[in-house]
Structure 1
Amino acid sequence: MNQPNQNPEQIARDLIDSQLEQAGWLVKSKNEVNLSGGKGIAVREYQTSSGPADYVLFVDRKPVGVIEAKREEEGERLTVVEDQSREYATSKLKYLKHDDLPYVYESTGTITRFTDYNDPKPRSRPVFHFHKPETLAEWNGQAETLRARLLNTPPLDEQGLRPAQKSAIRNLEKSFQANNPKALIQMATGAGKTFTACTFVYRLLKFAKAKRVLFLVDTKNLGEQAEQEFLKYQPTDDNRKFTELYNVQRLTSSYIASDSQVCISTIQRLYSILQGKELEESAEEENPNESGWTVSRYLSGKDPLPVAYTQKNPIEQFDFIIIDECHRSIYNLWKQVLDYYDAFLVGLTATPDKRTFAFFNQNVVSEYTYEESVADGVNVPYDVFTIETEITKTGSIIKAKEFVDKREKLTRRKRWEQLDDDLTYTPNKLDKEVVNPSQIRTIIRAFKEALPTIFPDRFDEDREFEVPKTLIFAKTDSHADDIIQIVREEFNEGNDFCKKITYKIEEDPKSVLNRFRNSWAPRIAVTVDMIATGTDVKPLEVLLFMRDVKSSNYFEQMKGRGTRTINFDDLQKVTRTAKHTKTHFVIVDAIGAIKSKKTDSRPLERKPTVPLKDLLGAIKMGAQDEDLFLSLANRLLRLEKELSPSEKEKFSELADGKSLQTVIKDLLNAYNPDVIEGIEQKVSKEKIGQAPDEISKTIALEVDQLRTSAAKVFTGELTEYVEKVRKAHDQIIDYSNTDKVIGKGWDKFTKEKAKEVVADFTEYIQTHKDEIIALEIFYDQPYRRRELTLKMVKDLLDRIKLDRPMLAPNYIWEAYQQLGQVKDNSPKKELITLVSLIRKVVGIDTQLTSYDATVNENFRKWIFQQNAGQHNKFTEEQLAWLRMIKDHIASSFQIGMDDLDYTPFDKNGGRGTMWNLFGTETAALFEELNKELSA
């Protein structure tokens, strides 16, 4: 333990000593050296011809490396001292004759960098810890380093590889040869990512003599699939299978065999191994970033332990780490596992997002899209068949005095009640607050009736139709149960015909999945999340969407379940009436999933498995982790939509006067990088001139106070009330309203359909122009447009989504595009799309024009008018601010003084800078720009 009076240099030395000892080194002063005392000896202050080196490392009595120690505050400058440490490594050690020392570290005890000067073009890299002496001895005995051997890899034997796989492997090997620490392989679902990985792993083991490779997954299911790929992989240059040449171990405990050359593990198991703990296999069943698994670790009220060094699992344990489905398993708690190892990282994914590209240093060695895979015949394309029903589109009303069943969501226990008032429910309440069996039955019946049209050749000799393998995506487990019962009834089949495949079923989900994949029955499977991503079911020919998805990445993953190719013989084994190989699959869209707006952002929580009461219990007991805060905020966001005004008022009363929305906002802000950055900037200004340690302590204190403030409202009384009020919201079973099909057929956006959609939208806008304030403003005098606010547009969008969810702005834009009435591409933001559409309907724009493009053009004209007859009216700084104002109006529709307190203005000086630049003209300038840019 560090003593209070120790100087920074001594603190760093103590940390370094401790880490060296953990890695198996004996640390000795120069006066007590016994080079025979152990395998590795680290000698402090050893004299060289350039002066005393902080540490000289000896292995088997021979000097092999040096460590240059620096104070912690010099961590950012470690690369600056590389010349100094290199000088010690090339100097002569007192009493000894030796070559230059190849292994050089610079370290503060907290941050360490390492260079192997035996490498071609030696380059330092950050390492979590020091290497073991046995490792340096092994490296020192090799003729070439790993990075040198990578340069000598022979050309790829392309036999049996698809073009995209060849390109991915060649580019990856070039990346290795350039010593890039991270690389990303983006390859469409079904294009053979794992086979590609088997191929380059084989080459790494054979030609680069890699010691051990880790194949990292985030579910047990994916680990088993990867294991099967390695078991059946046979290289083209050897008659033996991969597993006859190299040992493959799928980790089911903390034991990693010393002779394993390929290890397959879930990232949660590896995290537990580095914590020195065993892990139940049940914790590997679900993707931890979507299941709330991480939250369950905090229910004791303790924060998650950081990854710590363990000599049993040193940082050099793996030379390469391959991260499967890396778009979802490289964040939060799990990033520590990847930071721990001194290894090359290779990501595999079909659907990277912005964070994935950033994590892999934008080093994309393969970009192979679904469209390219279809063109190459690697994957099959899809057609879309839509089913629209009245209740799915508009919801319904249950009249007062009707008797209804109320069903508890979890137990499914029912009771009979009479409604006091009319109950109007919108489509987004279906299968959450209200279940309408007729709506589910109407979709399933329409689907059954459409199947002979979709697959006209699937009749046997007796004219009996064979249902193709179908996967139905349900909203919840409860929704899945309702669907299964109705499917069995409508198709007049037994239990084996339709099965649920989720992690919660009593049957072994792996067994059910294997039967779905390889046997005739089940013909239809219903899932929520388990086989929505990463699971290969080649005979699948139909995906029936009975749930919508907002994440574009997740939606692409779900669609990917149907893309797999399968040869004719294998298809006919499970679908006897198949007349040819699988040429395409069909998406049956019964919910508008294809046309709904998708985002790149990840949902706060896709599949919560930790009960709300446990989340509340954790935060009540003092847990303050990011995953817990986000999951709880997400659960409260859902609850907020269900609560009545009086229930919200009661919540506020128990939450120290804070509204439910404020409590949610506080939870989200507790880990919001922008909010934390604001605290850092504020403290840095207030504490200017003070020591960095004091500033850091103050920042940490304020951030901790932010999080404590967000958590402390969750007293026992409040958590008990939240749990009670949630349980009070049962599902109402609507038996009184029967649904009917209002549209069914192939989704071809014909001009006739486009005209119908545009007319429908126009009618809605005109019908509500006098009752919705945003529409009233557009239909009024032009000068009133400056009154339009972001809140007004959001309220309008929410109203449209409630009233007419099929009138989604991007869907309407596509209709105008089909009619040739569009000037620009669709805006990225839904609110801007909506305003652009309204301007077209009202007649402000003759052609549909993106509102932000209109603002840009109006701004250009305004600037030109301002400069007419004058030379450089605005300074460069003024122009920069005017452009920020223009961008704000383009996205938020107007600007006021209060907006200067927020991004991006606050980061550029806010009100003060605005006043310095424009003075008393500020208010008039805002008024003029609000008017001119929205014209």
Structure 2
Amino acid sequence: MPPIEDDRLAAEQRARVLIDRQLEAAGWSVQDRGALNLFAGSGVALREVIMKPGHGRVDYLLYVEKAVVGVIEAKPVGTPLSGVEWQSAMYAAGLPGDVRKRALDAGGRLPFVFEASGTETHFTNGFDPAPRARRIFHFPKPEALGRIVRAASEHPQEALTWRGRVGSLPTLEEGHLRPAQIDAIHGIERSLREQQFSRSLVQMATGAGKTYTAVTEAYRLLKWGGFGRVLFLVDRNNLADQTLGEFQNYRTPDDGRRFTELYNVTKLTRGRMPDSTKVAISTIQRVFKAIQNENVPDDDDPGLDEFAPESPVDVTYNPDLPPEAFDLVVVDEAHRSIYGVWRGVLEYFDAHVVGLTATPGKQTFGFFQQNLVSEYTYAESVADGVNVDFDIYRIKTEITENGSTIEAGTFVPKVNRETREIRIEKLDEDLNYASPQLDRAVTAKHQIRLVLETFRDRLFTEIFPSRRTVPKTLIFAKDDNHAEEIVQTVREVFGRGNDFAAKITYSAKDAKGHLKAFRTSPNLRIAVTVDMIATGTDVKPLECVLFMRDVRSAHYFEQMKGRGARTIDPATFRAVTDDAEAKTRFVLVDAVGVTEHEFVEPPLNRDRTMSLKKLLDRAATLNLSEDETATLANRLAALEQQVTQPERAELDAVAGRSLRSIVRALVAAVNPDAQAAAIAADPNRAPSDVVQKLLDVAIRPLASNPELRTRIIELRRAHDQVIDEVSRDSLIDAHGVVDPDAARETITSWRAYLAAHRDEISAIQLMFDVKGRGIAFGHVNELAERIKRPPHNWTVDYIWSAYLSLGVEHRGLAETRNRHTATDLISLLRYETGIDDALIPYADLVKSRYVNWLARQAQSGVEFNVSQRWWLDKIMQIVAVSAGITAEDLDNAPFDERGGVDGALRDLGDAAGELVEELNRELTA
């Protein structure tokens, strides 16, 4: 039976009561026609206005700053609002004459059109390029519409909403971005332009630079895209500080200023945000707390940040943090369960949502409307040198696998979890415990000790052969009490003190200080955590991830594994791990079976027994299996991390393309998705044949280039070092100088080498042709790397000693006579070209020129204070070892301790850049 008219009217009237309350909560003054007062507030919602003939009666006419700007069509609760948009559109175009005079026009109609039922609200913004209704949580405040109203009067020819402005963003400056980051930004902006989805998902491997990508995008959208404010959601509060640091350190590509010099970035707190806030950083739990108008603490609070309600949260409107507060919401590590119980918080805001994750799940894809705008896998990141590959080392113990039994009558210690107080009790019956109870209901001390002793005993023989310094190691424990037990046992097993191992959990004292030390201190070698370092936290020198807790979530496991994936430059790496040359891999030590779950993808290094030489030989005959192809990709990616830039350039030249692109093709050929797509595209061939064709195509650049294979092996051997611990040595001879006959032969060969490579090696060419001007450290280092290869195997020290053995004069400090760096090649070349008549160590030459320069400055009346002399002295020292200096070097050690470039400008003034250039001219060759 259809509803009677009175019932329908009553239902609509109830809806209007709800709508009135919502409008008033948002700051609108709701009025009847007879009591109209446009001065009552910035926004007035006038009920029941008769439109021009044929257009009926509108339920609400909206005024902002005394101008008519929109309409609301009210319908009973439960009415499908998309079916009444024609009605509200008719009202928006049917203003009576006395109202139209003060109306804001958007193509012949009012710009802001709403349909509402009291439980659902739809909004159409007529200033969008293709206006269409979207569901919003609540009516916007009058001030939000007022900003658009003012912009419409001030800039009538410009796009007024971000949906209109994203179509004309400037070309992305790609120089400072990785290919995966470029793809992600293009994907997000394409999705914004097309407006087919209100959400965009970026899948990017851990360590590939998701946050930097998001900061770059935020800058572009704030500056050129018409976006007013960004909410950046992080997984944990301790990551909010790290993200804030990313924004603070970001240099804009157009003028080089810091992001935070242009836009205010802050952590979200309770209450109304200042208009100046352009980026707010928070966890989703804290955003919910702010929406509920509760205090948001600044410090880490596991009770808050780990809170996960059993049922979806109920979000209510807060005028201090309204839905229109943000235009963009970035969700970093978007794989978490926030799309279930926390979904209401995300849907509260009228914003485009961008998700960033390494491991999207079904629920993640569902929330983001299956709109995956870019994809970058872990294997691809290894191929690109963004991450390093990993190996797996498995430790099994009887108790870990099968549990144990404690017999009745045994006196056992029991620990109070809250107070850590220990009491001794006698067991009345046998205690049988299984593996899952281990370190939760029962702590087996010898199991913990045995795992750690095994790790210690195999560390330098099987896990990291021939190393002597314990690699930076992160151990994942089950809970805080388990972590406490592990830390104490680590110190005992390794026989080391408190600064060797530390617990870094939310409850630990000075956890942030310990985390900083774990990144930078050579002393703190092992950290034990539960969740604090599980996601997003960078510890680049980390080489070992030890699982003493099981993880059954693929997403969480990938994040935990990813802590060890980060690459690091060799110099910084060696500063904290003195016996490491370069980080080429990390090791997952699995003491609980976590790597045996089906969701764990194998590393590229699938055949650890096969040498690089054998792999290349098999590639030459097109006989590589799929696992061998993956292993070859691993070995070449590791070599890429070790070679110098000149060596990399040489390999690329021999290959006729970048070695990295070859590795990327190998990885693509063993990608299951790529194989599945190829099989589907060629259904008439056997799947194995299709896969083999992919492998053969990927291998061809190596198979068809014997010279490339030879150079790869030569460089591999140059960077490998075999440790002989079994052969005994005996002394044949000892002398302090090179034998004169050998010295003459060396110098003759050296001069022939210079003549033969004069047009090929930049340092030689520059010295002979332009008398050394323009020789940079890269040129010198290239020459040093080339001469130390077979067949010559020369070092700078060796050639220098050969000259001295033939009686060539040496000038300089006595202590530098037998200690030479690559830059001393400049001195050798200066002698050969006749610029100098003696061998003068390059550092002594630079210091002498610096003293003369200071004297000339003093004679011309220029005096430098103590702070300025510190900068000048350090600049001279850098030039002495690097054959030059750039402005960018001022942001590195030792200058960073005094503020880097900013500190140089502070102490040296605006002439800092000119001084750097002048010293480059005066002190170098």
TM-score (structure 1 length as normaliser): 0.59
The letter for the 2-side match of 1:358 is G
Residue 528 of structure 2 is aligned to residue 511 of structure 1: no
The letter for the 1-side match of 2:296 is L
Give the Å deviation of 1:105. 0.4
Whole-angstrom distance in 1 between the partners of 2:580 and 2:543: 11
Match of 1:278 in 2: 295
Match of 2:75 in 1: 70
> What do residues 240-275 of structure 1 show as CA deviations (whole Å, max 9, x unaligned)?
111112111223454522111111122222222222
Q: Contact between 2:547 and 2:588, CA under 8 Å: does it hold in 1?
A: yes
Whole-angstrom distance in 2 between the partners of 1:37 and 1:403: 79
Q: Contact between 2:272 and 2:320, CA under 8 Å: does it hold in 1?
A: no
Residue 206 of structure 2 is aligned to residue 198 of structure 1: no
Q: Contact between 1:23 and 1:311, CA under 8 Å: does it hold in 2?
A: yes
Gaps of 5+ in 1: 296-302, 460-464, 601-745, 752-823, 826-935
Q: 1:448 to 1:85 in 2, by over 3 A?
A: same
Whole-angstrom distance in 2 between the partners of 1:401 and 1:151: 77
Give the Å deviation of 1:437. 2.1
Q: Contact between 1:57 and 1:65, CA under 8 Å: does it hold in 2?
A: yes
**Secondary structure of residue in 2 paired with 1:326:** coil
Match of 1:149 in 2: 165
The letter for the 1-side match of 2:37 is N
Whole-angstrom distance in 1 between the partners of 2:12 and 2:418: 60
Q: Contact between 1:286 and 1:530, CA under 8 Å: does it hold in 2?
A: no
Match of 2:188 in 1: 172
Q: Contact between 2:270 and 2:294, CA under 8 Å: does it hold in 1?
A: no
**Secondary structure of residue in 2 paired with 1:131:** coil
Match of 2:367 in 1: 359
Match of 1:582 in 2: 583
Match of 2:530 in 1: 528
The letter for the 2-side match of 1:594 is T
Q: Contact between 2:8 and 2:76, CA under 8 Å: does it hold in 1?
A: no
- Counterpart of 1:443 (choices 444, 448, 451) is 451
Match of 1:213 in 2: 230
Q: Contact between 1:219 and 1:284, CA under 8 Å: does it hold in 2?
A: no
**Secondary structure of residue in 1 paired with 2:128:** coil
> What do residues 88-120 of structure 1 show as CA deviations (whole Å, max 9, x unaligned)?
111232423454211100001210000012211
Residue 385 of structure 2 is aligned to residue 369 of structure 1: no
> What do residues 464-484 of structure 1 show as CA deviations (whole Å, max 9, x unaligned)?
x21010011122222222221
Match of 1:11 in 2: 14
Q: 1:284 to 1:322 in 2, by over 3 A?
A: farther
Match of 2:556 in 1: 554
Q: 1:397 to 1:333 in 2, by over 3 A?
A: closer
Q: Contact between 2:313 and 2:341, CA under 8 Å: does it hold in 1?
A: no
Residue 226 of structure 2 is aligned to residue 226 of structure 1: no
The letter for the 2-side match of 1:115 is T
| Structure with bigger gyration radius | 2
Whole-angstrom distance in 2 between the partners of 1:285 and 1:437: 27
Match of 2:826 in 1: none
**Secondary structure of residue in 1 paired with 2:574:** helix
Give the Å deviation of 1:430. 2.8
Larger RCO, structures 1/2 (Cα 8 Å, 6+ apart): 1
**Secondary structure of residue in 2 paired with 1:157:** coil
- Counterpart of 1:381 (choices 384, 389, 399) is 389
Q: Contact between 2:459 and 2:465, CA under 8 Å: does it hold in 1?
A: no
Q: Contact between 2:188 and 2:200, CA under 8 Å: does it hold in 1?
A: yes
TM-score (structure 2 length as normaliser): 0.60
Q: Contact between 2:312 and 2:340, CA under 8 Å: does it hold in 1?
A: no
The letter for the 2-side match of 1:62 is A
Give the Å deviation of 1:362. 1.0
Whole-angstrom distance in 1 between the partners of 2:544 and 2:337: 29
Match of 2:893 in 1: none
Q: 1:352 to 1:242 in 2, by over 3 A?
A: same
1:613-762 counterparts in 2 under 5 A? none
What number of residue pairs does the alignment pair up?
Answer: 588
Q: 1:32 to 1:529 in 2, by over 3 A?
A: same
Give the Å deviation of 1:59. 1.9
> What do residues 521-545 of structure 1 show as CA deviations (whole Å, max 9, x unaligned)?
3210111222122211111100111
> What do residues 314-348 of structure 1 show as CA deviations (whole Å, max 9, x unaligned)?
22111111112222252455322222211111111
Give the Å deviation of 1:436. 2.7
The letter for the 1-side match of 2:518 is F
Q: 1:311 to 1:408 in 2, by over 3 A?
A: closer
Give the Å deviation of 1:390. 3.2
Q: 1:395 to 1:173 in 2, by over 3 A?
A: same
Match of 1:604 in 2: none
Give the Å deviation of 1:454. 4.2
- Counterpart of 2:65 (choices 53, 60, 74) is 60
Whole-angstrom distance in 2 between the partners of 1:397 and 1:240: 65
**Secondary structure of residue in 2 paired with 1:472:** strand
The letter for the 1-side match of 2:206 is T
**Secondary structure of residue in 2 paired with 1:281:** coil
- Counterpart of 2:331 (choices 320, 323, 335) is 323
Whole-angstrom distance in 2 between the partners of 1:66 and 1:442: 73
Q: 1:87 to 1:514 in 2, by over 3 A?
A: same
- Counterpart of 2:314 (choices 287, 302, 306) is 306
The letter for the 2-side match of 1:530 is M
Whole-angstrom distance in 1 between the partners of 2:430 and 2:48: 85
Q: Contact between 1:458 and 1:466, CA under 8 Å: does it hold in 2?
A: no
The letter for the 2-side match of 1:68 is E
The letter for the 1-side match of 2:591 is A
Give the Å deviation of 1:449. 1.2
Q: Contact between 2:30 and 2:47, CA under 8 Å: does it hold in 1?
A: yes
Match of 1:259 in 2: 276
Whole-angstrom distance in 2 between the partners of 1:424 and 1:311: 57
**Secondary structure of residue in 2 paired with 1:388:** coil
Give the Å deviation of 1:285. 4.4
> What do residues 652-705 of structure 1 show as CA deviations (whole Å, max 9, x unaligned)?
xxxxxxxxxxxxxxxxxxxxxxxxxxxxxxxxxxxxxxxxxxxxxxxxxxxxxx
Whole-angstrom distance in 2 between the partners of 1:556 and 1:200: 25
**Secondary structure of residue in 1 paired with 2:325:** coil
Give the Å deviation of 1:294. 4.7
Give the Å deviation of 1:388. 2.3
> What do residues 519-576 of structure 1 show as CA deviations (whole Å, max 9, x unaligned)?
1232101112221222111111001111211111111111111111111121122112
Whole-angstrom distance in 1 between the partners of 2:608 and 2:405: 31
Give the Å deviation of 1:402. 5.1
Instruction: Output the aligned Cα RMSD.
Output: 2.9
Give the Å deviation of 1:58. 1.7
Give the Å deviation of 1:366. 1.7
Match of 2:616 in 1: none
Residue 89 of structure 2 is aligned to residue 86 of structure 1: yes
Give the Å deviation of 1:357. 0.8
The letter for the 2-side match of 1:541 is E
**Secondary structure of residue in 2 paired with 1:529:** coil
Whole-angstrom distance in 2 between the partners of 1:12 and 1:422: 66
Whole-angstrom distance in 2 between the partners of 1:351 and 1:166: 19
- Counterpart of 2:501 (choices 498, 502, 507) is 498
The letter for the 2-side match of 1:66 is V
Whole-angstrom distance in 2 between the partners of 1:112 and 1:178: 24
Q: Contact between 1:407 and 1:415, CA under 8 Å: does it hold in 2?
A: yes
**Secondary structure of residue in 2 paired with 1:73:** coil
Q: 1:456 to 1:270 in 2, by over 3 A?
A: closer
Identity %: 49
Match of 1:537 in 2: 539
> What do residues 169-205 of structure 1 show as CA deviations (whole Å, max 9, x unaligned)?
0010011112221111111110100000011101101
The letter for the 2-side match of 1:64 is V
Match of 1:907 in 2: none
Q: Contact between 2:184 and 2:202, CA under 8 Å: does it hold in 1?
A: yes
Q: Contact between 1:26 and 1:42, CA under 8 Å: does it hold in 2?
A: yes
**Secondary structure of residue in 1 paired with 2:329:** strand
Q: Contact between 1:204 and 1:210, CA under 8 Å: does it hold in 2?
A: yes
Q: Contact between 1:58 and 1:64, CA under 8 Å: does it hold in 2?
A: yes
Q: Contact between 1:78 and 1:113, CA under 8 Å: does it hold in 2?
A: yes
